[in-house]
Amino acid sequence: HGELGHGTLDPESTPRPIEGLEGIVIREVSAGGWHSAAISVTDDLYLWGWNESGQLALP
């Protein structure tokens, strides 16, 4: 459902960086089965994953 943040719905067994967060220093991460979140050291919030019912507060 996109919770890995790599732009695909394919499962992956090897960890790799999220391209959209390149250069951003992350201080906290919360990962779940449907979506994930990260907070940067500048307090910016990044969300990705399944948004079918608006769970990510995105249109």
- Give the pLDDT confidence of 4-36 residue by residue, as tens digits: 666 777 777 888 888 889 999 999 999 887 888
- Residue 59 CA to residue 48 CA, distance in Å, equals 13
CA angle 24-26-31, nearest 5°? 125
**Which residue did the predictor score with more confidence, 46 or 1?**
46
Q: Are 1 and 17 in contact (CB under 8 A)?
A: no
What confidence score (pLDDT) does residue 59 get? 63
Which regions of the chain does DSSP assign to beta strands (E)?
26-31, 35-40, 45-49
Domain ranges for the chain, please list them.
1-59
> What's the token pair of residue 3?
């919770």
pTM: 0.72
